[in-house]
């Protein structure tokens, strides 16, 4: 993989190279003349099957690219390697590289369970089966089988959402960012929305509350201060014309020390007394009480509604453990207003996501069995002793592989839930700590090379560099055999 680096610019840079180095060009002439014609390469017995599989125009393009690269190499005086067989090999490598899927599974050994960059929640087999069942053919996505009339796609999940949260109504969209945008635009376009200064968050990936607010057409009324916001601050904002109060779960940070926050129940009372609504963006939003599984408590959707929130939004692929989705639950008439907004059409879920979400929600029917059935919860509740046992079983093999390069130790570490759930709480975990041998001074570079070698495996292994070591937190290693099987291919030649 990646023997040849073809940047798109190279071929078109070529005339400039020619002009600049006429001398090189003259000494390169014999080599240039020996470059085989593209047609000859394409007609070669080893390339022809590729044309049959992928189409001649595509293969010809690849051949042209390889020849152009070789020509550029000759002109810049690099070793061109222009033997016919070499070029044929490059063409098939290039085609294989382009035909390989770029979105592939990786081992998430970062210690962050719900890692946004690594795809967040792993799905249970029930969800995968439900997706596969509707993926390849027609389904009753928006069709009521009983009446033979048009149906509503969200109906495949809203019943379960209401049942699990106690809400009157529910609606689903592409992600929680879309849910918040839809909510704000539907209820407070050109109106004022009151938000505590301590909750004007940035989640990363361009989700900054003030920006979302502006995009939704809302005027932001900042309430209170960064560390302390009181009921009277909200009351003043409502007095001066705020239509909606938005409470945001401060996902990825915590304000500590001299702080004050108005709880949902009090906020709901204030908003309702003024004839206004309260919406809560819970972010991760747990459907069940996590403390029953020994996890740090996180506000549940049901208790937030019970405390008086009119609408609650949360993600499908955070603590819920499902596919990427944004969920809004709450008052029927408010949900109806969101549903009528044309943005809802733009943000709607596709059939596979609805299928997966429906399957995941059904698992919540039995909370007792949830840790064994819902992979996210299974990972979050995995015992440190169990994780340590995995580390101990892998240690000898990895130590042998890295002999002379790095010391491999079994060590305890801390995992994070991630995706903004319980930002400061960590979970005791265990893993392997790889410490490069050799001079301390060069350790930084050695660690980068080690991390790169693990990323270069067929199923890339993503760890983290911490305190002068490369750490593999094994909490999320569910395929131990798969991990072990590819260690043979770990290329530490320059690590």
Ligand X SMILES: *Cc1c(COP(=O)(O)O)cnc(C)c1O
Task: Give the angle subtended at the CA of 61 by the CAs of 55 and 17, to the nearest 5°.
Answer: 175
* Smaller CB separation from ligand X, 279 or 450: 279
Restricting to residues 97-126, name those near ligand X by CB under 6 A: none
Contact letters (x/-) for ligand X, 270-309, by CB under 6 A? -----------x-xx-------------------------
Contact letters (x/-) for ligand X, 366-385, by CB under 6 A? --------------------
* Smaller CB separation from ligand X, 73 or 281: 281
CB of 45 to ligand X, least distance (A): 51
Q: Site for ligand X (CB under 6 A): which residue of 158, 264, 315, 429?
A: 315
* Smaller CB separation from ligand X, 300 or 419: 419
> Does 358 contact ligand X by CB under 6 A?
no
> Does 207 contact ligand X by CB under 6 A?
yes
> Does 199 contact ligand X by CB under 6 A?
no
Q: What is the spatial distance between Cα 178 and Cα 180, in angstroms, rounded to a whole number?
A: 5
* Smaller CB separation from ligand X, 251 or 353: 251
DSSP designation for 468: T
Contact letters (x/-) for ligand X, 169-188, by CB under 6 A? ------xxx--x--------
CB of 111 to ligand X, least distance (A): 19
CB of 57 to ligand X, least distance (A): 40
352 contacts 134 by C-beta, under 8 angstroms: yes
Q: What is the spatial distance between Cα 109 and Cα 475, in angstroms, rounded to a whole number?
A: 7
* Smaller CB separation from ligand X, 247 or 388: 247
CB of 143 to ligand X, least distance (A): 28
CB of 252 to ligand X, least distance (A): 7
How many residues form the binding site for ligand X (CB under 6 A)?
16
CB of 175 to ligand X, least distance (A): 3
CB of 313 to ligand X, least distance (A): 7
CB of 314 to ligand X, least distance (A): 8
SS3 204: strand
* Beta-bridge partner residues of 223: 196
Q: What is the spatial distance between Cα 457 and Cα 486, in angstroms, rounded to a whole number?
A: 7
* Smaller CB separation from ligand X, 14 or 207: 207
* Smaller CB separation from ligand X, 255 or 456: 255
> Does 348 contact ligand X by CB under 6 A?
no
Stretch that binds ligand X, among 129-137, 248-256, 327-335, 385-393 (CB under 6 A): 248-256
Stretch that binds ligand X, among 163-171, 245-253, 351-359, 396-404 (CB under 6 A): 245-253
Q: 75 vs 63, 91, 215, 476, CA distance in Å?
A: 18, 20, 52, 49
432 contacts 395 by C-beta, under 8 angstroms: yes
Helix 155-165 with 351-363: angle, nearest 10 deg: 30
* Beta-bridge partner residues of 107: 461
> CB under 8 Å to 224, separation ≥6 — which residues?
196, 197, 198, 230, 233, 234, 260
First to last CA, the chain: 18
* Smaller CB separation from ligand X, 286 or 433: 286
DSSP string, 64-114: HHHHHHHHHHHHTTS-----HHHHHHHHHHHHHHHHS-SS---EE-SSBSS
Query: For the chain, what's the residue count?
Result: 495
> Does 71 contact ligand X by CB under 6 A?
no
Q: Nearest CA to 353 among 388, 377, 327, 375?
A: 327
Q: Where are the beta strands (DSSP E) in 197-344?
A: 202-204, 207-208, 219-223, 242-248, 277-283, 311-315, 326-330
Q: Nearest CA to 276 among 339, 221, 208?
A: 221
* Smaller CB separation from ligand X, 84 or 253: 253
* Smaller CB separation from ligand X, 167 or 177: 177
The residue nearest ligand X at its CB is: 283
Restricting to residues 419-448, name those near ligand X by CB under 6 A: 419-420
Q: Nearest CA to 218 among 196, 187, 247?
A: 187
SS3 34: helix
Q: Site for ligand X (CB under 6 A): which residue of 221, 229, 251, 300?
A: 251
Under the rule (CB under 6 A), what is the footprint of ligand X? 175-177, 180, 203, 207, 248-249, 251, 281, 283-284, 315, 326, 419-420
């Amino acid at each position: 993989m990646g023997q040849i680096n073809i940047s798109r610019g190279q071929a078109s840079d070529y005339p400039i190279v020619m002009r600049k180095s006429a001398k090189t060009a003259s000494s390169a002439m014999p080599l240039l003349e020996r470059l085989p014609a593209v047609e000859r390469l394409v007609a070669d017995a080893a390339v022809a099957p590729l044309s049959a599989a992928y189409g001649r125009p595509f293969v010809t393009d690849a051949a042209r690219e390889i020849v152009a690269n070789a020509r550029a190499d000759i002109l810049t005086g690099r070793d061109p390697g222009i033997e016919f067989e070499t070029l044929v090999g490059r063409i098939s490598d290039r085609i294989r590289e382009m035909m390989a899927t770029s979105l592939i599974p990786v081992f998430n050994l970062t210690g962050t369970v719900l890692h946004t960059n690594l795809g967040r929640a792993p799905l249970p087999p029930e969800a995968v089966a439900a997706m596969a069942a509707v993926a390849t053919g027609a389904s009753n996505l928006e069709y009521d089988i009983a009446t033979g009339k048009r149906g509503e796609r969200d109906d495949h999940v809203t019943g379960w959402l209401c049942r699990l949260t106690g809400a009157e109504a529910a609606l689903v969209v592409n992600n929680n960012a879309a849910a918040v945008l839809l909510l704000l635009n539907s209820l407070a376009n050109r109106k004022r929305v009151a938000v505590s200064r301590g909750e004007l968050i940035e989640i990363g990936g361009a989700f900054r509350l003030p920006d979302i607010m502006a995009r939704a057409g809302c005027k932001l009324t900042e309430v209170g201060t960064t560390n302390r916001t009181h009921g009277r601050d909200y009351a003043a904002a409502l007095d001066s014309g705020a239509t909606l109060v938005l409470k945001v779960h401060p996902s990825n940070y915590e304000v500590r020390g001299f702080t004050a926050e108005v709880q949902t129940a009090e906020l709901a009372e204030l908003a309702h007394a003024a004839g206004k609504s309260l919406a809560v963006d819970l972010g991760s939003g747990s459907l069940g009480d996590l403390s029953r599984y020994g996890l740090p408590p996180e506000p549940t959707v049901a208790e937030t509604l019970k405390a008086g929130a009119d609408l609650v939004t949360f993600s499908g692929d955070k603590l819920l453990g499902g596919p990427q989705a944004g969920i809004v639950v709450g008052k029927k008439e408010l949900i109806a207003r969101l549903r009528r907004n044309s943005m809802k059409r733009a943000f709607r879920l596709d059939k596979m996501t609805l299928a997966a979400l429906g399957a995941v929600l059904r698992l919540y029917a039995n909370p007792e069995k949830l840790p064994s059935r819902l992979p996210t919860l299974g990972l979050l509740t995995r015992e440190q002793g169990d994780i340590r046992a995995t580390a101990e079983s892998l240690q000898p093999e990895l130590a042998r592989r890295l002999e002379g390069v790095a010391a491999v130790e079994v060590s305890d570490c801390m995992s994070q839930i991630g995706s903004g759930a319980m930002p400061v709480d960590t979970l005791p975990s265990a893993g392997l700590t790889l410490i490069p041998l050799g001079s301390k001074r060069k350790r930084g570079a050695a660690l980068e090379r080690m991390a790169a070698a693990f990323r270069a495996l067929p199923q890339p292994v993503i760890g983290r560099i911490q305190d002068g070591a490369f750490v593999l937190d094994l909490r999320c290693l569910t395929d131990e055999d798969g991990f072990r099987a590819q260690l043979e291919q770990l290329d530490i030649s320059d690590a």
